Amino acid sequence: MATVKRPSRQYVDVSLGSLLADLTPDERASIYLNLLFAHTDPKAHPFSEAPWVPAVADNVLTYEKAGYKLPTVRRLEKDKRIEEKSLFDYKFLLRSCYELTDAPWIAILEDDVLAQEGWYGRTMAGLQKIQRQKKGKGDWLYLRLFYTEKFMGWNSEEWPVYLFWSLVAVSVPALGGLYLRGKIPSLRNTLSDPFLAVICLVCVPAAIVLYFLAGRVSVQPLHSGVRPMNRYACCSQGLVFPREIVPRLIHGLGQTEQPRAVDSAIEAWADREGLQRWALVPSVMQHIGGKTYKKTEKENPRDKFEVSGARGLWNFRFELHENLRRAWDGGGSDERQTGEFMGT
């Protein structure tokens, strides 16, 4: 996890607390936590000298301790080249986790997430399922622990699909009515042309409009479990990579020609390499950052009522975990509960 000083509220203490709070001793022992204070001067971060930091993190990283040339990093900070700096930090964390441990999984988390109780067990169950499924199906890049439904609505590039099924919805009652009217003479007066016109040109289109207004997340939600998510996935709050893919990923991010956000750079590289991406549904982490560190200007009071930017990154189904947990606690073995979550 990399952490930077944010304009107002700092979230890293809450994030780390939620990650570690309910872990068993064995689970905590299996995690090697690298915490990077992503400033050339670590003291610029309010928590850099907090007494709880060395007690929580297994290793506290700084650029100087890692042997990086500070003038290069300082230039990125001074010029506010946020995207380049973020990519630099991401590669730094990937390389550190890869070189300092022999962990089979490497998770890179942002410092403004809230982990759900039981996140560790569900994450490990998800990784095991992917390992079983991936045999003979090529490489995969990551398991996503957070995603936002913000970009999973009705996407304009899929309009031919929507048009096709809308025409099907209109055609079925029209053709069905004409067929029944021809086969059953007693229905000819009931299934008249004006009646069919009202059904097909008014009622069905109105139902289609209501369907679209309800939203894709409501009418076509993702099924719980481990699901492929190669499109419309956002953002980089929590990704778990298999160890063997990390060197390729570091090299790929290093080949990024134009500065871009970390998640966009990762997705673009994965598309070029043809790598499968997976996500836990519902998300086991929630984004809690209300204001991004990428903006330092004074906030307009009206902004607090908008859901653009950082405030718009939210996972609605994260709130369903409590209901799922209660259902699992109601009976059955741990194996059955895990099976239900994984959709098996």
Helical (H) or strand (E) element with 91:
helix 82-100
Position of tokens 């890179």?
108
> How many angstroms separate the CA atoms of 153 and 51, rounded?
45
Q: What is the pLDDT of residue 284?
A: 93
Handedness of CA 178, 184, 188, 191 (dihedral sign): negative
> How many angstroms separate the CA atoms of 251 and 174, rounded?
57
Strands 105-109 and 59-61: unpaired
| Closest C-alpha among 54, 46, 41, 44 to residue 12 | 46
Q: What is the pLDDT of residue 340?
A: 37
pLDDT digits (tens, 9 = 90+) for 37-63: 999 999 999 999 999 999 999 999 998
Angle (deg, nearest 10), helices 159-183 and 204-214: 150
pLDDT digits (tens, 9 = 90+) for 242-253: 999 999 999 999
CATH code assigned to 2-153+220-341? 3.90.550.10
Question: For residue 228, what are the β-bridge partners?
Answer: 278
**Domain span(s) for CATH 3.90.550.10 in the chain:** 2-153+220-341
What the block records as the tokens of 225 is: 């479990």
pLDDT digits (tens, 9 = 90+) for 256-312: 767 788 999 999 999 999 999 999 998 999 998 765 545 444 555 545 445 455 566
Q: Apex CA 4: angle with CA 75 and CA 55, to 5°?
A: 130
pTM to 2 decimals? Answer: 0.81
- Report CA Rg, the chain: 25
Residue 5 C-alpha from the chain's centroid: 23
Which residues of the chain are modeled with pLDDT < 70? 134-138, 257, 290-312, 322-344
On whether the CB atoms of residues 11 and 110 are closer than 8 A, the answer is no
CA contacts within 13 A on the Cβ side of 314: 11
